Amino acid sequence: MLLCLITSLNDINLWALGGVGLVAGLLGSMLGVGGGFIIVPILSLALNLPIKVAIGSSLVAIVANACTAAGIYTKFRLTNVKLGLLLETTTIPGAIAGGFAAAFIDPSILSALFGLVLIYVAYTMVTRRHFMSADTQPNDHLHLAERGKISDNLSGSLTDSYYDQNLDEVVNYKVTNIPAGLGAGFFAGVLSSLLGIGGGIIKVPVMHLVMGVPMKAAIATSTLMIALTAATGAFIYQYYGNIQPFIVAPLIIGIVIGSRIGVELTQRTRGVWLRRIFGVFLLLVAILMFLKTANVI
């Protein structure tokens, strides 16, 4: 395997890796999902790297992306830091469990799992109305809060607000359904380390659709969490020798540049059509991953 990896490294275009990082950083920071759903399939399918090396490299690049974007989101007060740290109490244990489990799972199974995750993301982006277009809290959560049906002390302590440049107004919101969020956080952590995706594809829709967090705040908070979750998984992949500096370095350069652009775009646009188009793209990539698993390509 090591000889094949060295041969693959000699054939890799560093500019192509930087370009992959740029696109992953831009879209990952815009959607709060890290960018691993771009990096992993391209490294695995287009550059023909072993899936575990692709995942390990993706996790390191995601840390760079998340740290860059999270710093800017926090500066503009979009991040709900308390909520992010609370959800990480279950996400990090999930990431540890997923990281060690990955060492014993066949690569073809990982490819199939990644394809299933991509289908889920594509479906969510294309069909879920609130996730697609709402920048504020879903009305169901607001009505429940107003009626006093959601009133525990922890939920009240997580109440937050931010200034939305696109709406030109201050958005206030209250976090609900915390137990469901904690459970989803563990699952997101497992997927993060197993598939190198950062876990944001689970966290963002759960925070927005289940916990009542506005879309932009969910993206910003997910980005903060991804920095911690992906770092946990990356250390485990490094322990097993699945991270290669010559692959990671150009990815990080591109992803840092892309993440800064993506954060700026997030603040100024809702990106409805971009997400729909990208959802279709993810569906196509998922099909390719399944074909690779079945040895058709």
Q: pTM, whole model, 2 decimals? A: 0.73
Q: How does residue 153 score in pLDDT terms, banded at 50, 70 and 90?
A: low
> Does position 39 have pLDDT exceeding 70, yes or no?
yes
Q: Pairing relation of β-strands 169-173 and 160-164?
A: antiparallel
Instruction: Provide the token pair at 211.
Output: 């916990």
C-alpha span between 62 and 261 (Å, rounded): 15
Q: Is residue 91 part of a domain?
A: yes
Domain that holds residue 28: 12-293
C-alpha span between 113 and 108 (Å, rounded): 9
Q: Is residue 253 part of a domain?
A: yes
C-alpha span between 204 and 33 (Å, rounded): 8
Section 232-240 average pLDDT:
85
Please report the sign of the dihedral spanned by the C-alpha atoms of residue 175, residue 227, residue 19, residue 242: negative
**pLDDT confidence of residue 81:** 92
**pLDDT confidence of residue 11:** 59
Give me the number of domains the chain comprises: 1
Q: Is residue 4 part of a domain?
A: no
**pLDDT confidence of residue 146:** 43
Q: Is residue 7 part of a domain?
A: no
Q: Is residue 244 part of a domain?
A: yes
Express each pLDDT in 58-112 by its tens digit: 889 988 888 889 888 988 889 999 999 999 999 889 888 888 887 777 767 777 8
Q: Is residue 6 part of a domain?
A: no
Q: Is residue 3 part of a domain?
A: no
Cα end-to-end span (Å), the chain: 20
- Strand, coil or helix: 162: strand
Q: Is residue 26 part of a domain?
A: yes
* Residue 262 CA from chain centroid, whole number: 13
**pLDDT confidence of residue 252:** 92
